[in-house]
Amino acid sequence: MPERNPAPRWLISRRERPEAVLNLYVFAHAGGSAGEYLMWADDLPELRVWGVQLPGRSSRFAEPPYERLEPLVDDLTAQAAFDGPCVFLGHSFGALVAYETARALHHAGRPGPDHLLLSSCRPPHLLGTGRSSRTPLTDLSDDDLLAAVEERWGPLSEQARTDAGLRRMVLRTLRSDLSVLEAYEHRPGPPLPIPATLLCGAEESGQLDMDSWSEQLGRVQERLVLPGGHFYFRSDPRPLLDVIRATAQSLAITAQTGATERCTT
């Protein structure tokens, strides 16, 4: 197996925090970069927040982006170590990458997340439903692609609309990530036995069929609908941060209870 490197390429962090009780690994949305999520580190001082940085963006812009999920997950799990205890948080496209990464680690018998926080993503076995009846987003012109993305998932930043250089960068990563989604085919298997919390915005809750995630996850603990749309955390991240804190506290209590039981037996 290739030597794994925990940080310099795939995983980035703003705060060292060696005393942190938990690692939070965040998987960004399609076209997104880890930097947006790393800002939460200031509000989560008890955690070390890691961003999973995919090729083709930010510090890895010179590297060609992936257009298929399987090689992405293969390379990520071969080259990055996910230290525990830890939680995976994925939003939208990032939720799919987080789920498949956790699945690959579990199947390989390697350390992986103690909890999954999966946000704003349809169950993987339903992602291709209706695909043949719609024009693939990656076949659209630049203007039509951006319009379609904004219609489905909400507005881009004003800078992405007006800055030609940033617009090209956004389009590049969007097209590659959407290629991954459009080519994705779920491989059936037993439900992943990792505790999970499912989240989404109130304005999109009727479109995601969150109940069907139970076919792929054996331990769905909560389904939470938070105020807002697809990017519900951009206007007010506090509800999501509260969920992260509660998850971390629950894992800490479980670990402490387990240690106590081991000492008394």
In terms of average pLDDT, the best of 154-163, 185-194, 245-254 is: 185-194
At residue 3, does pLDDT exceed 80? Answer: no
Residue 164 pLDDT class (50, 70, 90 cuts): confident
- Which one has a higher pLDDT value, 110 or 253? 110
Is the pLDDT at 1 greater than 50? The verdict is: no
* The model's pTM: 0.89
**Nearest alpha-carbon partner for 83 in 54, 47, 117:** 47
Region 250-259: mean pLDDT is: 68
pLDDT digits (tens, 9 = 90+) for 165-210: 888 888 888 999 999 999 999 999 999 999 999 999 999 998 899 9
Confidence of residue 133 (pLDDT cuts 50, 70, 90): very low
* pLDDT number for residue 61: 86
pLDDT at 129: 58
What is the predicted pLDDT for the residue at 8?
A: 52
Cβ atoms of residues 127 and 181 within 8 Å: yes
Q: What is the C-alpha to C-alpha distance for residues 149 and 186, in angstroms, rounded to an integer?
A: 23
Evaluate the CA torsion angle 205, 113, 64, 74 in order and state its sign. Answer: negative
Q: Work out the average pLDDT over 42-61.
A: 91
Q: In the chain, pLDDT over 70 holds for what percent of residues?
A: 89
Please, what is the average pLDDT of the chain?
87
Residue 213 reports pLDDT greater than 60: yes
What pLDDT score does 39 carry?
92
- Does residue 158 have a pLDDT over 80? no
Q: What are the distances in angstroms from CA 246 to CA 37, 52, 171, 228, 240?
A: 18, 22, 36, 21, 10
pLDDT score at 177: 93
pLDDT value, residue 229:
93
β-sheet bridge partners, residue 49? 24
Model confidence at 66: pLDDT above 50: yes
